[in-house]
Each structure stands twice: as structure tokens, then as C-alpha cells.
Amino acid sequence: MSFTRSFTQYLGRFWVPSLLLIFWEVFSRSGYIPPALLPAPSRVFMSWADWVFSIDEFTQDNAGHWYLDAFASSVRVFSGYCIASLLGIGLGVGIGWSRIFEKTVEPTLQMLRPIPPVSWIPLAIIWFGIANKPAIFLVFLGAFFPILMNTIHGVKTVSRDLLRAAAMAGATERQMLRFVVIPASMPSIFAGLRIGVGSAWMLTVTSEMVAVKSGLGYVLWDSYYFLRYDMVIASMISIGLLGFLSDFGLKMIMHKLLRWQQAGTLQGVNS
């Protein structure tokens, strides 16, 4: 009884996507618009399978190259994201903790923040040339600010009472940072890291459009020139999937590190 009920509930979440897929399939096969402009989901799936496993060479040069493309994009995202995390958390803790540091650094950063990462492309290319570096730079720009802002917020909202307790235990300023401020800011920092990883993947297409000749974003843009909309959609789904997996990984780390946060809420009070 309860099994069948939970099973039907489980199925419930697939209703909407299934209906959408069926509608999409029927619509693109109806001949209402040329199938090349809106390939059916079955077509996208087959192309994607060929891109990954090289089944029928339907995707020509790309057949079997998915892993290389996914790897190339992942390396760029990972590099840019790591730099963004290190700088974002480092500067964020500094700005949140020290008034002087905040006054000297924050206005500049806040002025740079609203500039769209895309608008850096010309400068990024003349600074870094045509290779991985400008792409990594753009990913960095996208991920940096959400991580920075959330870290600042986390550090500024550390409870004064906890700092008093630590002071009473004899903590020096450095010890306060290490043993109170940083652990207390962890939930905010992770919120920033999760937003940041999304922004990082969002910038793959933009950064690979201009400066490099590999990666999922490059395949997407290249397929557009050849009117291969099946591959365009397959690239979009690939980016979405990798973004989802990165976020999932972060979530796992977060659950491990922030075990204390779930302690009281999920499992109830063990008294």
C-alpha cells in the first residue's frame, strides 16, 4: 500500500517533463516547421549518443568526441572556478572582518561587479591571447562575485556573542578568524560557491565562442554555423548536465562539512 503510493508519487514528478517531450516530438514531426530548425528529442538523443559513442557518424567530425569536449570545458570551468573561490573567499573574509581593508578594496570591487563578464572579452583576448587563458578568465569573473558577496555577508553576520565567548576563552584575533569567523561563515560561503558554480558553467559558451577551438560551448557555436540544431541542443543539455553534477558534488561536500547544521532540524532532537 505505502509502497505503491510512494511509487505513484515518485512517478508524479515525471509527468510534466514526459508530456513536454511528447509534445515536442509530435510537434517537430508534424511538418509544421522544418525538422532541421527544431529537431525532435529522439533526433537530439541519437545525435548525442553518436557524439558520445560514435555510433553512426551522423555527427561527423564530432562523433565520439564528447568526452574530449566535456573534459576541455570542465578543465576551464574548474580552473576559473578554483581561482574565483580562493580569491573570493580570501578577499571576502578580509572585507568582512577588517574595516580598513573594506574601505580600501570594496569600492573598487563593487564598481567592477556590475560590468558584464562578456564585455571583458576584447581585453581578455589582447591580454591573454587566443587559448585557454581568456576563457578561464571569463569563468573566473562569473564565479568570483557571488562567492565574494556571500563570504562578506557570512563574515559580517557572525554572532557577536560567539566572538565574546571566544574572547573569554583567550582567542587572539587570528584565532577568532580561524576558529570562529570562518566556520561560522561556512553556510554562507557554500551558498556563494553553489551560485558561483552555476555562473561558471553559464560562461562556458560565451568564453568558448571566441577564444578556443574545443569544448561544449565551442561545439554549440560551431554546430550553429552548420545549422546542426540537434547538436546545439545536445550541447545545451550536456552543459546543463555537467553543471548539475558539479552542484551535486558541492552539495555532498557541504552536507559532510556542515553536518552540524542538519543535526537539530532533520533528525530531530535526540534527548
Partner 1 sequence: MSFIQLNDIVKEFHDPVRGTKTLAIDHVSLSVEKKEFVCLIGPSGCGKSTLLNMVAGFEKPTSGTVLVGGQPITGPGADRGMVFQQPNLMPWLPVWDNIAFALKLKGLSKTERQQAAQPFIDAVKLRGFERHFPGELSGGMAQRVGIARALLQNPAVILMDEPFAALDAQTKLEMQEELVAIWEKYNSTIVFVTHSVDEALILGTQIAIMTHRPGKLRELIKVDLDRPRDVTSAEFNQIKRHVMEVIKEEAQLAREVAPI
Footprint of partner 1 on this chain (CB under 8 A)? 159, 161-162, 164-172, 175, 179-180, 183-184, 186, 258-261, 263-265, 267, 269-271
Looking at this protein, which amino acid is placed at residue 87?
A: L
To partner 1, the closest distance from the beta carbon of 82 in angstroms equals 24
Quick one: 90 or 264, whose CB is closer to partner 1?
Answer: 264
Quick one: 41 or 183, whose CB is closer to partner 1?
Answer: 183
152 CB-near residues (< 8 Å, 6+ apart): 92, 95, 96
- In the block, cell 563570504 appears at 151
Supply φ then ψ for residue 107, to 5 degrees. Answer: -55, -40
To partner 1, the closest distance from the beta carbon of 87 in angstroms equals 24
Quick one: 110 or 262, whose CB is closer to partner 1?
Answer: 262
Quick one: 118 or 163, whose CB is closer to partner 1?
Answer: 163
To partner 1, the closest distance from the beta carbon of 175 in angstroms equals 5
Quick one: 193 or 232, whose CB is closer to partner 1?
Answer: 193
To partner 1, the closest distance from the beta carbon of 77 in angstroms equals 29
Among 142, 134, 154, 133, which residue's Cα sits nearest to residue 89? 154
To partner 1, the closest distance from the beta carbon of 258 in angstroms equals 8
Looking at this protein, which amino acid is placed at residue 201?
A: W
Beta carbons within 10 angstroms of residue 52's beta carbon: 19
Q: For helices 66-97 and 182-210, what crossing angle results, to 10°?
A: 140
